[in-house]
Structure 1
Amino acid sequence: MTDLPSILPNLIGGEERPAESGRSFANVNPHDGSEICQVARSEAADVSAAVAAARAAQPGWAATPAVQRGHILHQVMNALEARADEIAAAVAAEAGKRLKDSKGEVGGAILCGRFFAGEGQRLFGRTMPSGTPNKYNMTVRTPCGVAGLIIAANTPAPNFAWKVFPALICGNAVVLKSAEDTPVSAWLMARICEEAGLPKGVLNVVHGLGAEAGQPLVDHPGVDVLSFTGSTAVGRRIAESCGRQLKKLSLELGGKNPFVVCDDADLDNAVKWACLSAYSNAGQRCAAGSRFLVFESVYEAFRDKLVEATRAQKLGVEEDCDLGPVINERQLNNMLGAIERATGKGAKVLIGGRRAGDKGCYLEPTVVEGAAPDDEISQTELFGPVASLYRVRDFAQALAMANDHPYGLTACIHTRSLDRALAFSHGVQAGATVVNAGTYGSEPHMPFGGPKQSGNGTREPGTEALDVYSELKDIYLNVDPAKL
């Protein structure tokens, strides 16, 4: 971050540009409230310029053989790896993380990029027999065109990688709308991509607020495929716009993920993973564990262990801390309000539930019990370090409660029974299921997403992301035997 400008510019067609309006907004460190820099406050005109640059660059990038695109991405990954500490420092400052966590996330982003660079040597189509003599059938993948990408702030580097690199390897040009709370990491990674050999205009970055920069990107007719990670409420609005345009769309939305503790679970291991699922990254994971469904016979034992483990959690961004701040003041106030409304309906806060410290956006790690399954705190993704406990009689009730919910992103179960593990994994309505660990931990070569209000059926990353960022084309070759 040694050359961080005072006003973070957009990257459009290989040029760094301020917002056309000249306006900017503050990028704030959520740990202490200090201003990191000002950021270009883009609007529709800036988005249009970025889309125009992408459309101009895309044909040349698409004409570059996929194997060569993969080679360029490998060079990009080498450059990102060489500057991993610099990227991690940016992530740690603007997202409020421990440096070692930021380094881990940057490493994950590079692994993701290397995976998709390798896909340049594959991008498989199929050959299939024809029912007609002297006719040969095949499919090939073609780029969509311009990909509009809108990412979230919780894990800035992986969020960048999960969308940008599959879009690029498929031959698309990209317009990325950075998360308004973490724009520096997106700007820095995009700069490094260009410096490492990515053609100018193939990757464009615009900063700004959702309504002012994100919505114009969604609505722009020059965007051929749109991918969004964020809240279900915003995802619905995006889906409505893309539906009217018949625009290809990928949505990865919220989660309120069940964490089942059976009567035969290793409780110490379950509590360890409960804390990691609920509190690591300050609970700011769409895959965070937030609904803990605990068998009655071990409920008190698990509850007491969880409360003690929660009490031991240390807040801060130093290396010996367990969780940092939530991303901004608005999110913090939303969580505090939800906790207050839950206690007003009879729920009990066992520990936490208050703002921590006199600076920054810290919420005490919180355990709540006694909320009804249909209460707001049970149904709404808070995106913070809040765990809600629920008693269940047995496996059947645990599975039923896990599924009786509008979200379906991830789930986990703690049990020593193979029968329960298999039955839960196949029976739970979730896109990812984990046995005897946390509700998170997706790897970059695996598909991620979920049914219900957690998405629209697409999956990123993994090879399934290629289906988002490419179109299939049938090719039929007819041979005239008389000319052989």
Structure 2
Amino acid sequence: MTATPEVDAGANSKDVATILNPATGEVAGTVRWTDPADVARIATGLRQAQREWEARGAAGRAKVLARYAVWLGDHREEIESLLIEETGKSATDAAQEVPLLLMILSYYVRTMEKALAPDSRPAALPFLSIKKITVHYRPRALVGIIAPWNYPVANALMDAIGALAAGCSVLLKPSERTPLTAEVLMRGWIDSGAPEVLALAQGAREVSEAVIDSSDFIQFTGSSATGAKVMERAARRLTPVSLELGGKDPMLVLDDADVELAAHAAVWGAFFNAGQTCVSVERVYVMEQVYEQFVDAVVRDVRKLKMGAGEGNAFGALIDESQVAVTEKHVADALAKGAKVLTGGKRPSGPGTFYEPTVLVDVDHSMACMTDETFGPTLPIMKVSSVAEAVRLANDSQYGLSAAVFSRNLERANDVALQLDCGGVNVNDVISNLMCTTAPMGGWKTSGIGARFGGPEGLRKYCRIETVVAPRTNVGAGGNYYNNSPKALKRMNTMMTKLALIRPKRIAK
């Protein structure tokens, strides 16, 4: 069963597609694709509306976003019900998305006016104090957002919220695998009385390309390979991008860790949303002193998990057959190279794109399960002899999204965290950095470019920076214009050199 839209072979881009529930194969709903040729027209309308939206100022936009937050809270049950039908999620997994959005909305509603206020800067040299230096954050007219399928509600709006708060219009392209919930989110924007600065473009590659070609900034979330293609396309018009891409997040369990806590965290971090989370725990390095105890606790916890869509289950289906195939491939590769399955390791009988929660041991970096993003319900665990070995192996990856370190000694854990090459590290926890709305979230290496959301950075990324230098007084204005005499040049050079070296000389002492 698949969530991929079914479109007749001869159909054009305006056809209505049927979306199936991956857990049952039943119809979840239908969607009408956007004609790629219409995207430019939609973008023009959004740009026109953006002028008035920017003119409202941060305080005016905050009121609109606050009303939208109330609407999302009031319609949470409807959104989550459709989310389960569209993705095959468990109720537990589906329940995480709207609250995350409400956290982000609440944070920006409270802070956006200050974050976007003009920033006064001091003069670099005393004689420049006659100038007033102000940095302004001016929104880009149109932000294109290409969202993924694993969190169709949260991943779409967590980016849109920042762009809208900054004063931009937003053209949202949901994944063609999960287009239905985006329609509800769009309805809510309209019903809450918001202006027409948010629009949808439904479709696949051609629509994505049209969105890139029509936007002034692109936020893309997805695989590293596709992210490279997005960046290449955007480069044709020198359109800036922010990319949150793949991950292979490591978890390090030190010899002084709370093993029970670490085991619980590893199981939840690996199997939440069936492992289809960019910051899920995809590999674990455990010091040999606590390895056996940790593995036993993990296996015990995993065997208690109940798999299925809707209520009463720990996690649901994979999004479609292609994602099941990746998981099966990684497990088979590991077994062929000497790994062992302690629990799971196969697809259950019955309907739906499910895969059993799988714990792998005797793994190493020759195996895809330790080096390639699985995005499925697997938990490979590797024994290490030292912290240095754990850090080396954790950094031996093309990815650098986030990581976790477990130790009872917080100073030791923080020291290890700063040795890891990634955008965020959780100490004695997993995935929690996503909830830290005051801090930016982003990846290193092939896991992305730029911060995604969080903190003032989550707003300012959508702005162009404009510096205005204005006189505080007319005294001294024009004094150096074309004053190129040898005497004047010598005097200026002497003064500039002395002034510029005052602070370095003090520090050097």
Same fold, TM exceeding 0.5?
yes
1:318, distance to aligned residue in structure 2 (A): 4.1
CA contact (8 A) 1:68 1:120 kept: no
Change (3 A) 1:376 1:98: closer
- Counterpart residue number, 2:95: 103
Residue in 2 aligned with 1:23? 15
Letter of the 1:226 partner, please give it. I
Question: Following superposition of structure 1 onto structure 2, how do residues 55-454 of structure 1 map, counting pairs within 5 Å?
Answer: 55-122=47-114, 123-130=116-123, 131-132=127-128, 134-200=130-196, 202-209=197-204, 211-218=205-212, 220=213, 222-443=214-435, 444-454=437-447
Matched to 1:355, the amino acid is R
Change in 2 beyond 3 A, CA 1:384/1:440? farther
Relative distance call for 1:480 and 1:426 in structure 2 (3 A) is closer
What per-residue deviation string (whole Å, max 9, x for no partner) do you get for residues 5-60 of structure 1?
xx9xxxxxxxxxxx984313221212211111222233421322321221222222
Moved more, 222-231 or 45-54: 45-54
Assess if the C-alpha contact under 8 Å between 1:277 and 1:440 holds in 2: no
CA contact (8 A) 1:175 1:206 kept: yes
Instruction: Say which SS state the counterpart of residue 57 (structure 1) adopts.
Output: helix
C-alpha distance in 1 between matches for 2:324 and 2:423: 28
Partner of 2:458: 465
Identity value in percent: 32
Offset at 1:100?
4.4
Describe the superposition over 1:302-338 as per-residue Cα deviations: whole angstroms up to 9, x where unpaired: 2222122222211013433111111112111121122
Give distance in 1, aligned partners of 2:429 and 2:13: 49
SS at match of 1:251: strand
Deviation string, structure 1 residues 338-381 (Cα, Å, up to 9, x no partner)? 22222223322222121123111101001122332143221111
Q: Deviations over 1:116-163 (max 9, x none)?
A: 223342213311234435421101110111100011122222212211
Q: Secondary structure at the match of 1:354?
A: coil
Write the letter of the residue equivalent to 2:209: Q
Cα deviations across residues 154-190 of structure 1 (Å, max 9, x unaligned)?
Answer: 2222212211111011111110001222212111111
5+ long unaligned stretches in structure 1: 1-6, 8-18
Provide the C-alpha distance between the structure 2 equivalents of 1:372 and 1:66, rounded to a whole number of angstroms. 51
Contact 1:263 1:295 in 2 (8 A): yes
Q: State the number of aligned residues.
A: 462
Alignment of 1:28-47 (within 5 A): 28-47=20-39
Deviation at 1:265, TM superposition (A): 1.7
How big is the alpha-carbon RMSD for the aligned residues of Structure 1 and Structure 2?
2.0
Q: Contact conserved, 2:425 with 2:433, CA < 8 A, in 1?
A: no
Q: Give the AA of the match of 2:56.
A: T
* Cα 1:135–1:378 shift into 2, 3 Å: same
State the distance in 1 between where 2:451 and 2:411 align. Answer: 30
Give the unaligned 5+ runs of structure 2: 6-10, 476-509
CA contact (8 A) 1:414 1:436 kept: yes
Mark the CA change 1:303 to 1:25 in structure 2 (over 3 Å): closer, same or farther: same
The one-character-per-residue Cα deviations of 1:406-444 (angstroms, maximum 9, x if unpaired) are: 111111112112342121121111211112122445213
- Following TM superposition, the consecutive aligned residue runs of length 4 or more in structure 1 with deviations greater than 6 angstroms are none
* Aligned mates of 1:268, 1:286 — CA distance in 2: 24
Looking at structure 1, the residues matched to 95 and 422 of structure 2 have their Cα atoms a distance apart, in angstroms, of 29
